[in-house]
Amino acid sequence: MRIVCNNQAPGKVIRDMSNAIELVGVCARHGAVAVLHDLTAAVAAQRITALTGPNGSGKSTLLGVLSGVHRPASGSVRRTHARRPALVVQRSEVPDALPITVRQTVAMGRWAHRGAWGRLSREDRAVVDRCMERLGITALADRRLSTLSGGQRQRALLAQGLAQESDLLLLDEPATGLDADAKAQIADLLAEECARGVTVVHATHEPEDAAGAHHRIALSEGRLLAEVVR
């Protein structure tokens, strides 16, 4: 195990094609509020990276920057992955009033290939079926998302992320609030995706959920606290 503390010179990072993403001096804001401060770090390709830190440390914002959804106020982000990133949000971010079934939720993952109004092909439907089967939610396909338990809803959102078939999978607190069996299932699935060549980044504030990661980026109040590589 190698631990790198935040004593590097600002703006210095060694360019490496084995990195999926490199960030140099990244600052990010929500309105007038600064959330990330001069962050320099790299995400290794085809590995599992855990973003750790307490609530409010900037993990979700960093995921937004990695995905391209959140534009940094300053600094640079270099990406080497070819496909659109798949971002899996927290289950609490999906409103209960949304009248959508589990199958429709997972099928939204194919929008990256067909567009929001494109008709799903036979291949698209097969991908949706496979992803639901992998997450054990096939029997829930016709259920409204709002009627599911927290664990069931999280698996549906993760299936949506897998359905995008991206080479970069980003997850915001995927195991928070789940029981031990559900956490183990998600950890196994992320390891399978990594073995297939997918770069996986997930945020967590629970140290045990980061135990299986190859690389950890620890944040504190929007700053890099340390990186741990094993």
- By three-state DSSP, how is residue 37 classified? strand
Q: Which CATH number fits domain 1-85+166-230: 1.10.3720.10, 3.40.309.10, 3.40.50.2300, 3.40.50.300?
A: 3.40.50.300
Position 103: which residue type?
A: R
The pLDDT tens digits of the residues spanning 86-103 come to 999 886 666 666 789 999
The pLDDT tens digits of the residues spanning 131-183 come to 999 999 999 999 998 898 888 888 999 999 999 999 999 999 988 778 888 88
> What pLDDT is stored for residue 221 in this prediction?
95
Average pLDDT, the chain: 87
Q: Where are the domains of the chain?
A: 1-85+166-230, 94-165
Does 84 score more than 90 pLDDT? Answer: no
Position 75: which residue type?
A: G
Q: Do 152 and 106 meet the contact criterion of CB atoms below 8 Å apart?
A: no
Q: Do 37 and 223 meet the contact criterion of CB atoms below 8 Å apart?
A: yes
